[in-house]
Structure 1
Amino acid sequence: MAEPTTPAPLSAVEEEQLARMRYRRALVRKKRKEREAAGEIKELNITAMMDMMTIILVFLLKSFASSSAAITASEDVRPPVSTTRATPKDTVAVTITPKNIMVGDKEVVRLKEGRIPAEQLQGRLVPALDVQLKKEVEKLKYIASRNPAAPFSHELSVIADKKVPYDMLLTVLYTAGQNELENYRFVVLKKGDD
């Protein structure tokens, strides 16, 4: 069995370094106690935070109080006029102009003489529009699966020029129906706003 060894005596230099280290620790403790005694804030003062949150809340309420349907300003689209009081909802938006069909801000079909070209039709289905609507629906379903406060509503907002032929409108609605967008809302101008 090995015998325990006793620590070797410290040299004068090591003792001086040890004393300085103890002094520094004591000094740090003393300064900390002085700060605490002087009334340093130990908790978070939330008054300023509440003011800031109130301002942000008012800003967000004002922002969301405005219409949520975004209509891109264009000379090509002149929606029909109505006396409705219903407010628009934030949904998948299909815009039909005399020149093209867009989903959101993305053009999916270029029209020829105000009609969908025959090569871009499969019966009543418009494949390019179908692909883009599938992407939008998948995105909305993904959001709904992650956020129960934003359920997938199966709604479509149609922003169409008042001169769009009824047959083209039916073709667009048929394609939307193939993508689970069964509830349609037509965006109109409030009477007196045109």
Structure 2
Amino acid sequence: MAIVLPGRRPALRFRRSGVLERRLRKGGHPLDAQLNVVPMVDMMTMLVIFLLQQFSATGEVLYLQKDIRLPDARHGAAIEAAPVVAISPSQLFLGPEKLGEVPALLAEEGLAIPALEEKLLEERRRWEVVHRNDPDRDRHWTGAVNVQADVKVPFKLVKRVMWSCGRAGYHDVNFATVEEAERSAAAR
């Protein structure tokens, strides 16, 4: 076998047909490619507009689930970031995690909701681990929890949630409400 230089060797039939003739020529292709940036600029503009619409200047800390209708309030204060207990007409949540069905919780005896207590204690332990080596000692654990309760939820269940929060060490219970002015503006 003869010694040949390494490189491309098209099949004999392609060499004879001339199909690859332009590709095999050295130096025939420009190395710079034209890039159309108009679609990229359009996409970036759309992303910026989307992000600006989603941005909240008020610093909203609650995500309201679609099946929860909050009660109206005339006076209130802005709530701070804390674990969120959401009580819809059918389910109980701590953040995104479902803890139980409302009819089953109403049928139970006693004040405590063990699943809620356990998850809140877990949340407190997580907070303590995260802030163990925090150089800013002024920020201590406040024991705050935000409750989103639907208007139709019986007070018995709200009382049980408050009791369970207190047993887990969350004594600062804040209730999420909607200002009447906001609800009337949204209804128009």
TM-score w.r.t. length of structure 2 = 0.61
Deviation at 1:152, TM superposition (A): 1.1
Q: Tell me how far apart the structure 2 counterparts of residues 83 and 139 of structure 1 sit (CA, whole Å).
A: 35
- Aligned Cα root-mean-square deviation (Å): 2.2
Q: Which SS does the other structure have where 2:163 is aligned?
A: helix
Q: Tell me how far apart the structure 1 counterparts of residues 139 and 95 of structure 2 sit (CA, whole Å).
A: 19
Deviation at 1:145, TM superposition (A): 2.3
2:81 corresponds to: 90
Number of aligned residues: 128
Kept in 2, the 8 Å contact 1:93–1:156? The answer is yes
2:149 to 157, 160, 163: 160
Identity, % of aligned positions: 20
CA offset digits 1:143-176 (Å, max 9, x no partner): 3323336421111111010121111111011011
Q: Tell me how far apart the structure 1 counterparts of residues 71 and 174 of structure 2 sit (CA, whole Å).
A: 13
1:144 corresponds to: 131
1:72 to 58, 64, 74: 64
CA offset digits 1:83-124 (Å, max 9, x no partner): 224111001110001111100111111222xx5154xx4621
1:125 corresponds to: 112
Kept in 2, the 8 Å contact 1:109–1:129? The answer is no
- What is the letter of the counterpart of residue 109 of structure 1? G
Runs in 1 of length 4+ with deviation above 3 angstroms?
A: none
CA offset digits 1:15-48 (Å, max 9, x no partner): xxxxxxxxxxxxxxxxxxxxxxxxxxxxxxxxxx
Q: Tell me how far apart the structure 2 counterparts of residues 107 and 130 of structure 1 sit (CA, whole Å).
A: 13
| Structure 1: runs of 5 or more not aligned | 1-62
| Structure 2: runs of 5 or more not aligned | 1-54, 184-188
- What is the letter of the counterpart of residue 130 of structure 1? E
Q: Tell me how far apart the structure 1 counterparts of residues 124 and 57 of structure 2 sit (CA, whole Å).
A: 25
Kept in 2, the 8 Å contact 1:81–1:191? The answer is yes
Q: Which SS does the other structure have where 2:131 is aligned?
A: helix
Q: Tell me how far apart the structure 2 counterparts of residues 67 and 166 of structure 1 sit (CA, whole Å).
A: 29
Q: Which has the higher contact order (CA 8 A, sep 6+)?
A: 2
Deviation at 1:142, TM superposition (A): 2.2
Kept in 1, the 8 Å contact 2:106–2:156? The answer is no
2:178 corresponds to: 189
Q: Tell me how far apart the structure 2 counterparts of residues 98 and 170 of structure 1 sit (CA, whole Å).
A: 15
CA 1:182–1:128: 2 relative to 1, 3 Å? same
Deviation at 1:65, TM superposition (A): 4.3
Who wins on radius of gyration, i.e. which is larger?
1
